[in-house]
């Protein structure tokens, strides 16, 4: 044991390492599962267990992965349990079969997380609080799907956040080539290493769900190190650089495929289209990992992801990323645009539509729900497995692996068989009469579209999507015949434009708002003297082209 590592560092910057284990990986065939478990996962776990007992880390895995570790290598699973029990390892979950969460509906995403949670509870004895978002893809409903499954801490993507929130940064790093699946060779913005969004967590992405950003500025170097392309000292110098002035905070130094530690992983397929060298064993992996950890621990202490989210003071900004974004400065639509995805996603959508229209009202609600629960869960299990990402990857001119393709096709076929069972089981049960929609009494000021679970008055913590919806929410009140609501809407609209100014999104106030402000300043009671006639806020006149 390296006893020197037992002495806590005085460096206030803390480091997080997340080892992402996914056996449902492109070009990883079942015959090689145990090889990868022992050459990669066991090496990681055993290294921390034997050589670095005072270093904390995160081991993340999908439900599919944990099931296969339990079956093929129970001794490895026991090491994981031991490390978790003694508080050295935080286990982080992932959706069961590694779907792209932004490419499936919110309901599907929830079920995939729920099936994973059940696996973790069965084999580890608990439901983890932290989750990995595959490829960090984003739509506004993605965090809601995780939160519904009980997740409290979520991996976030730094580059996506900065592109969507910093104009100067986004002008340099935004990937405008949506027809390619990788943005790694694009220019890098000259970023201050003390950027708080790199070192501090975000709170309440949706209420009760917090997160921390990983960045390609750090992670890519270590992947290259394990492949023998980047010297270790260069990786450590990179960590030191991105630690900035070492203010209190945290930095995620590793958050990527664990399979590259111990095997060649997907490397030769990705860069050379050599399909014969997938997941070959790398005999010097343990030595490389030990050297990496020794170097990181010379810089500072290692903590868990949950500790980073809980103990580091958060930024006082909302987390906002535009729909379709993903890590590596690319897009979820890259995974949705492969030939396999274009062929299969409409099939999966039709299976989902059939279920929701013909069977869901009978089997998930009302007097028959308990009886049909096993079929309901069987349907959602196979349907969500049909969305596995790696059966649809890589994009042309590479080809997908036959096993991964067939696995997805088998899941689609299994989904069809469940629909046949549902058809037989419900043939004598009529569809229930749809309930009367729960529509509030009609008003002329209610927006009527649910766009956030946050407090709408807390404008500072609404993300940009929510803030722009809030403009329409306020406009609806401004158009009201109710004078009190009209004034309330104008006041809220003023606050929204002030918040836009604070974020650097300066713009001209609408004319009716300017009139309201002028009237407010002239009135001793600060109440505008206006007629009861509803006044719509006019848009600015379009400039004429000559």
Q: Considering only CA atoms, which of 481, 473, 471 is closest in space to residue 509?
A: 471
In this structure, the answer to whether residues 331 and 375 fall within a common structural domain is: no
**Is the residue at 360 inside a domain?**
yes
Look up tokens 């560092």; give the residue: 9
| Preceding peptide of 536 cis, ω within 30° | no
In this structure, the answer to whether residues 290 and 410 fall within a common structural domain is: no
In this structure, the answer to whether residues 100 and 192 fall within a common structural domain is: yes
In this structure, the answer to whether residues 298 and 327 fall within a common structural domain is: yes
Backbone angles phi, psi at 432, to 5 degrees: -65, 155
pLDDT of res. 295: 98
pLDDT of res. 525: 47
- Say how far residue 81 (Cα) sits from the centre of its chain: 26
> How many CB atoms within 10 Å of residue 71?
12
Element (H, E) at 146: helix 142-148
Residue 489 domain boundaries: 438-529
pLDDT of res. 511: 76
Number of domains in the chain: 3
Q: For 126-154, give one letter per residue: b (16+ CB within 10 A) or e.
A: ebbbbbbbbbbbbbbbbbbbbbbbebbbb
Residues comprising the chain, all counted = 546
**Is the residue at 313 inside a domain?**
yes
92: β partners? 60
**Is the residue at 16 inside a domain?**
yes
Q: Which of 320, 335, 350 is the last residue of a domain?
A: 335
Q: Considering only CA atoms, which of 419, 510, 455, 32 is closest in space to residue 264?
A: 32
DSSP state of 99: B
**Is the residue at 495 inside a domain?**
yes
The backbone region for 246, taken as left when phi is positive above 0, alpha when psi lies in -120 to 50, beta otherwise, is left
In this structure, the answer to whether residues 164 and 233 fall within a common structural domain is: yes
pLDDT of res. 523: 54
In this structure, the answer to whether residues 186 and 328 fall within a common structural domain is: yes
In this structure, the answer to whether residues 170 and 288 fall within a common structural domain is: yes
In this structure, the answer to whether residues 367 and 493 fall within a common structural domain is: no
pLDDT of res. 528: 40
- Measured between alpha carbons, how far is residue 409 from residues 32, 107, 110 in Å? 21, 21, 22
C-alpha to C-alpha distance for 38 and 43, rounded to whole angstroms: 7
Strands 57-62 and 13-21, sheet pairing: parallel
DSSP state of 187: P
In this structure, the answer to whether residues 329 and 370 fall within a common structural domain is: no
In this structure, the answer to whether residues 300 and 261 fall within a common structural domain is: yes
In this structure, the answer to whether residues 365 and 480 fall within a common structural domain is: no
Q: Which of 362, 397, 425 is the last residue of a domain?
A: 425
Average pLDDT across each block of 10 residues of the chain; the chain has 546 residues. List them in order.
45 96 97 98 98 98 98 98 98 98 98 98 98 98 98 98 97 94 93 98 98 96 94 98 96 97 93 92 97 97 98 98 98 97 98 98 95 98 98 94 98 98 97 81 88 97 98 94 94 95 89 73 47 33 32
Backbone angles phi, psi at 273, to 5 degrees: 50, 40
Q: Which of 371, 402, 425 is the last residue of a domain?
A: 425
What's the pTM?
A: 0.92
**Is the residue at 543 inside a domain?**
no
C-alpha to C-alpha distance for 37 and 56, rounded to whole angstroms: 21
Kindly write down the DSSP assignment for every residue of 360-389, as one continuous string.
HHHHSSGGGHHHHHHHHHHHHHHHHHTTBS
> How many CB atoms within 10 Å of residue 517?
15
In this structure, the answer to whether residues 273 and 323 fall within a common structural domain is: yes
Look up tokens 């109440």; give the residue: 527
């Amino acid at each position: 044991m390296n006893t020197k590592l037992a002495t806590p560092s005085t460096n206030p910057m803390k480091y997080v390492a997340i080892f992402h284990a996914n056996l449902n990986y492109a070009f990883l065939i079942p015959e090689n599962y145990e090889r990868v478990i022992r050459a990669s996962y066991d090496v990681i776990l055993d290294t921390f267990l034997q050589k670095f007992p005072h270093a904390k880390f995160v081991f993340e895995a999908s439900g599919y992965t944990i099931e296969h570790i339990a079956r093929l290598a129970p001794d490895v699973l026991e090491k994981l349990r031991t490390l978790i029990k003694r508080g050295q390892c935080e286990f982080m979950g992932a959706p069961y079969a590694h779907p792209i969460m932004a490419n499936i509906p919110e309901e599907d995403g929830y079920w995939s997380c729920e099936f994973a949670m059940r696996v973790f509870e069965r084999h580890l004895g608990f439901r983890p609080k932290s989750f990995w978002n595959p490829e960090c893809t984003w739509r506004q409903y993605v965090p809601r799907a995780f939160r519904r499954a009980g997740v409290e801490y979520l991996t976030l993507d730094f580059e996506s956040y900065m592109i969507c929130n910093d104009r100067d940064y986004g002008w340099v790093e935004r990937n405008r080539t949506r027809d390619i699946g990788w943005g790694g060779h694009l220019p890098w913005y000259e970023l201050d290493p003390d950027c708080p969004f790199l070192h501090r967590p975000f709170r309440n992405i949706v209420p009760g769900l917090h997160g921390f950003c990983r960045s390609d500025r750090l992670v890519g170097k270590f992947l290259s190190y394990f492949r023998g392309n980047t010297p270790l000292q260069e990786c450590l110098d990179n960590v030191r650089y991105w630690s900035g002035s070492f203010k209190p905070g945290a930095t995620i130094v590793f958050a990527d495929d664990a399979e590259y530690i111990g095997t060649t992983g997907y490397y030769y397929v990705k860069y050379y289209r050599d399909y014969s060298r997938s997941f070959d064993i790398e005999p010097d992996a343990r030595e490389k990992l030990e050297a990496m950890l020794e170097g990181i621990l010379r810089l500072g202490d290692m903590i868990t992801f949950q500790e980073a989210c809980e103990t580091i003071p958060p930024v006082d900004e909302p987390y906002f990323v535009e729909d379709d974004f993903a890590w590596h400065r690319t897009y979820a639509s890259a995974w949705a645009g492969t030939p396999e995805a274009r062929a299969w996603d409409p099939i999966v959508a039709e299976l989902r539509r059939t279920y929701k229209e013909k069977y869901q009202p009978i089997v998930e609600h009302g007097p028959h729900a308990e009886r049909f629960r096993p079929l309901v869960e069987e349907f959602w299990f196979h349907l969500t497995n049909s969305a596995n990402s790696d059966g649809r990857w890589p994009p042309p001119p590479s080809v997908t692996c036959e096993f991964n393709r067939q696995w997805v096709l088998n899941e689609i076929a299994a989904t069809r068989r469940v629909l046949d069972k549902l058809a037989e089981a419900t043939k004598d049960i009529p569809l229930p009469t749809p309930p009367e929609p729960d529509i509030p009494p009609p008003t002329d000021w209610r927006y009527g579209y649910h766009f956030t679970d946050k407090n709408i008055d807390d404008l500072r913590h609404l993300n940009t999507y929510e803030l722009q919806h809030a403009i329409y929410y306020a406009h609806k009140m401004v158009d009201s015949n109710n004078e009190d609501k009209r004034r309330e809407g104008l006041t809220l609209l003023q606050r929204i434009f002030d918040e836009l100014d604070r974020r650097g999104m300066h713009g001209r106030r609408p004319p009716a708002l300017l009139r309201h402000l002028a009237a407010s300043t002239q009135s001793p009671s600060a109440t505008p003297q206006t007629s009861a006639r509803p006044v719509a806020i006019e848009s600015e006149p379009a400039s004429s082209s000559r």
